[in-house]
Amino acid sequence: MKVIMAPIEMIAWFDIPGTPRPIRFRHDGNVVKVEMIKRISEEKLAGNRTKIYECQSEIHGQMRVFELKYELNTCKWFLWKI
């Protein structure tokens, strides 16, 4: 996977404990629906807590695995790897 770390527009829902679940996002004018979340992990870099979502979706006719990052302090979403 290639590291991109690009900010994205995200539609997500939050469960009762407050955990965000990505539904779909826009990157470079293309809308990608998150079809499956394979794994959720959390990391802390320089005091900044982030949630990392390893997801799988069909992009341009191919099943692709990618990673999304959600910064808990700033509430920003990033397409981290694809």
User: Using a CB cutoff of 8 Å and minimum separation of 24, what contacts does 56-59 make?
Assistant: 57/32, 57/33, 59/30, 59/32
Mean pLDDT of the chain: 95
Determine contact, residues 1/67, Cβ cutoff 8 Å.
Answer: yes
Band of pLDDT at residue 70, cut at 50, 70 and 90: very high
- 9 pLDDT above the threshold of 90: yes
Tell me the mean pLDDT in the region 47-69. 95
Kindly report the pTM of this predicted structure. 0.93
pLDDT of residue 75: 95
Tell me the mean pLDDT in the region 3-29. 95
